[in-house]
Amino acid sequence: MLSETRLAIPDRAEEVELARALLEGDAGAFDRFVDVFRSKIFQYSYLMCGHREDAEEVAQDTLMKVFENFDQLREPERVRPWVFRIAKNACLMKRRKSVFAPVQELSIDDFLPHSRDDGAARKLEIADWSALPDDQVLRAEVKAVVRRAIGELPEIYRAVILLRDIEELTTEEAAQVLDVSQEVIKTRLHRARLAVREKLDEYLKSVQARVN
């Protein structure tokens, strides 16, 4: 039986331990497994689908498929990418936009920052990132800016940044979940990060303009 001690933040080792326990028939791991993965699937699917109700349904549908097909999880070490692969497919079923919507590509050149020569040195025309707001209200604003920036990314980029930077899947695992090569994951991740950075940069410039 697993310990009753519950960690606030699940980590890989705990997830693997829970999956292994359930595979061995230890139902004592059930509640914690559901807690951990339901929360993760909800986060991912809320940002992928854009609707809270859809995210709730995706979380339940995904966990149903997880338990119905538990024997397909051959290696407990891979439980996180395995669950996310099921969640990704559940999200596709819930997609409200037309499946025929064209895939939107981001170009890396669009994110090259402008610079100006101020005589002695070249300066980038970007915000002062060393002065990120400490104020609680502004921190909440930053959070909202980040979430909006992620939400506005084209779907193929959004999926990658969620899996890599939020859910901390490796490049190899994200490639497996999304059925693309590792090179594609790296390219999309970089463009997604640049797009989010740019939105934050615009926000920080506006805050700094307000203060000055």
Partner 1 sequence: MQDEKHPEDCKQVFALLSEYLDQDLAPESCEELRKHLEHCAPCIEFLDSLKRSVRLCHDCGLSETPPPLTPAEKAELLAAYRRWQKRS
The residue ranges that bind partner 1 (CB under 8 A) are 22, 25, 27, 30, 34, 38-39, 42-43, 46-47, 55-56, 59-60, 63-64, 67-71, 108, 112-115, 117, 121-124, 126-127, 129-130, 132, 142-143, 146-147, 150, 161-162, 165-166, 168, 171, 186, 189-190, 193-194, 196-197, 200-201
Determine which helix (DSSP H) or strand (DSSP E) holds 80, and give its type and residue range. Answer: helix 79-94
Q: Minimum Å distance from CB 53 to partner 1? A: 10
Q: Minimum Å distance from CB 67 to partner 1? A: 4
Q: Minimum Å distance from CB 211 to partner 1? A: 18
Q: How far apart are CA 70 and CA 66, in angstroms?
A: 6
Q: Minimum Å distance from CB 86 to partner 1? A: 13
90-108 exposure pattern, b = at least 16 Cβ within 10 A, e = fewer = bbeebeeeeeeeeeeebee
Q: What is the DSSP string of 163-212?
A: IIIIS---HHHHHHHHTS-HHHHHHHHHHHHHHHHHHHHHHHHHHHHHH-
Q: Minimum Å distance from CB 91 to partner 1? A: 15
Burial classification of residue 75, based on how many CB atoms lie within 10 Å of its CB (0-12 exposed, 13-18 middle, 19 or more buried): exposed
Rg (CA), the chain: 20
Q: Residue written as tokens 């950075």?
A: 197
Of 103 and 121, the one with the shorter C-beta distance to partner 1 is 121
Terminal Cα-to-Cα distance of the chain (whole angstroms): 60
